[in-house]
Structure 1
Amino acid sequence: MTTATPDEIRTAVRDRYADAARAASTGDGPTAYTRSLYPEEQRDQLPEQALTASLGCGNPTLLAQLQPGQTVLDLGSGGGIDVLLSARRVGATGKAYGLDMTEEMLELARRNAAEAKVPNVEFLNGQIEAIPLPDASVDVIISNCVINLSADKDAVFAEAFRVLRPGGRLAISDIVLTRALPEPASRVMALWTGCVAGALVADDYRHKLCAAGFTAVELQPTQVFHRDAVREVLADADPGRIPGDIDIEEVTRALAGNVTSSFVRAVKPIA
């Protein structure tokens, strides 16, 4: 039995999203699902490449209830789609940060911000387990199908809690499981980069947020992924990177109906 290390997972994730950024830059990439997540009035505000580069599972900007003057941080900001939308909502007196570890995505996001003529944004190079911002400097944290990609979610939630101001809110879209994955699934790298193998069971998600200090934790499933969606993730896998003892059909059956896209809300209490 072979289990991927955190460094191997991080490298695979970075490679996958670098490829996605390059594809978006040439006008190629998955847009149909993204378009279904963002209403037309939001899509009209965005450069085409911001839509094309998005690999999210929800629309956290609808969840966040942003107000003018707030500071927003997007964990794993990719091509910048949610940062740009958030920046418009917080206005000229607010600020929207995007944090990403993939240089290709950061370059694309900065080009998208320039094309959209949105000045109150800043894209940061770094990891979500070590956010490069001061304590208590952010009002709202958003994220779109990224926290599941981290091999150290306790560090992610601790860092999110640190940089939020008292009363600040976490408002994210993420992949959440209804039950634990079968062991073989954790050894398929395509399920890590496809946002499945690293996902938490709902009760574990709540526990980790509470352990980090958050209150008012809510998880709201918005979509259940069935067999065809799981097969689509596995179809992108390099067969040479799937351990030979794994029965892919058995894994697919175990995942079908177990994987959900969910809204996750939590609050940093006021001391």
Structure 2
Amino acid sequence: MDKEQELKNIVKERYTTIAEQRKEENASSCCGATTSSNKVYNIMMDDYSKTGGYVADADLGLGCGLPTQFAKIKQGDTVIDLGSGAGNDAFVARHETGAEGKVIGIDFTPIMIEKARINADKLGYNNVEFRTGDIDNMPVNDNVADVIVSNCVLNLVPNKAKVIAEIHRVLKPHGHFSISDVVLVGDLPKALKEDAEMYAGCVAGAIQKSEYLQLITDQGFKNMTLQKEKPIVIPNDILEKYLTLEDLNAFNAGNTGIFSVTVYAEKAGGLETISIASEGNSCTPGGGCC
């Protein structure tokens, strides 16, 4: 088995376990990984509870942002939610697109798909469907979606460039995405990078912020905007599972930053120029955001 498939299997196993737990247990660390104690941390989660379309039974506490808040979803849109879990973001998207729109959730964990379908049936939503599949090989035709959303999922996929290429493929011309994810500024300690278990806990699977934005640019997206950014502090109770005390102190005193970002970008509709913006500042495609 190659490394990429091994990591996918670890993530699938972890998220199968998460689907069987209570939300409070899932909040115990980054994107649902476990800790070495019984302490509970809310490291990444944003509060969905006052968001239109929110369904408590579908919220497993695994997100790192609110991508639907920035997604500019209109009534009648077709929306795809990548890594849809128990359906929370899909149901929020359905609130925005209305009964005349369509929402497709994609997840590769069968128990998550099952939970999401049960939730959709309870709500009586006949325009929300959930498909089993990998987001780096989506079970969706070309040029289908007006909007794509995703919440703390791409960092779990080994081949992020392939996912972004798939996003470009399935978006309609002039369609757009809003994705919340985990990125880095500075290098992670080697022990975190190489630990497959920590990969499933989000941090080791994250890539450099500049690299992440460049992958989007390289695929031809335009009008890229950093909609939200917040620092993520990983508690020592988690890090001590992977680092010696010396490495832990060096990590905390160093220049490595772990961030949750929400990124927006549009698929061009023709021969259009590519531009990037962040917080209202212009950037060069290869140079990162100013």
TM range (shorter): 0.7 to 0.9
1:66-85 superposed matches below 5 A: 66-85=73-92
Residues 97 and 122, structure 1, Cα contact 8 Å, conserved in 2 = yes
- How far, CA to CA, are the matches of 1:29 and 1:203 in structure 2? 29
Give the TM-score normalised by the residue count of structure 2.
0.80
- How far, CA to CA, are the matches of 1:252 and 1:102 in structure 2? 36
Task: Say whether 1:218 aligns with 2:225.
Answer: yes
Alpha-carbon offset, residue 220 of structure 1: 4.5
Task: Say whether 1:95 aligns with 2:102.
Answer: yes
Correspondent of 1:157 among 154, 164, 170: 164
- How far, CA to CA, are the matches of 1:253 and 1:59 in structure 2? 32
Residues 54-63 or 210-219, more deviating: 210-219
Partner of 2:194: 187
Q: Aligned pair count? A: 255
Alpha-carbon offset, residue 253 of structure 1: 4.7
Change (3 A) 1:34 1:201: closer
Alpha-carbon offset, residue 138 of structure 1: 0.4
Change (3 A) 1:254 1:28: closer
- How far, CA to CA, are the matches of 1:154 and 1:259 in structure 2? 20
State the AA in 1 paired with 2:247.
E
Task: Say whether 1:173 aligns with 2:170.
Answer: no
Residues 194 and 233, structure 1, Cα contact 8 Å, conserved in 2 = no
Correspondent of 1:134 among 138, 141, 148: 141
Residues 163-172 or 218-227, more deviating: 218-227
Task: Say whether 1:259 aligns with 2:267.
Answer: no
State the AA in 2 paired with 1:130.
N
1:40-79 superposed matches below 5 A: 40-42=49-51, 45-51=53-59, 53-79=60-86
Correspondent of 1:147 among 129, 145, 154: 154
Change (3 A) 1:40 1:7: closer
Change (3 A) 1:35 1:187: closer
Change (3 A) 1:251 1:157: farther
Correspondent of 1:204 among 201, 211, 215: 211
Residues 212-221 or 122-131, more deviating: 212-221
Alpha-carbon offset, residue 144 of structure 1: 0.2
Residues 50 and 112, structure 1, Cα contact 8 Å, conserved in 2 = yes
Residues 88 and 118, structure 1, Cα contact 8 Å, conserved in 2 = no
Alpha-carbon offset, residue 189 of structure 1: 2.1
Alpha-carbon offset, residue 13 of structure 1: 0.4
State the AA in 2 paired with 1:207.
Q
1:109-128 superposed matches below 5 A: 109-128=116-135
- How far, CA to CA, are the matches of 1:8 and 1:215 in structure 2? 34
The Cα offsets for residues 78-136 of structure 1, whole Å up to 9 and x where unpaired, read as 11100011012101110011000000111111111122332210101000110111110
Coordinate RMSD, CA, aligned:
2.6
Alpha-carbon offset, residue 33 of structure 1: 4.1
State the AA in 2 paired with 1:66.
I
Change (3 A) 1:40 1:22: closer
Question: Percent sequence identity over matched residues?
Answer: 34
Residues 139 and 164, structure 1, Cα contact 8 Å, conserved in 2 = yes
Alpha-carbon offset, residue 198 of structure 1: 1.4
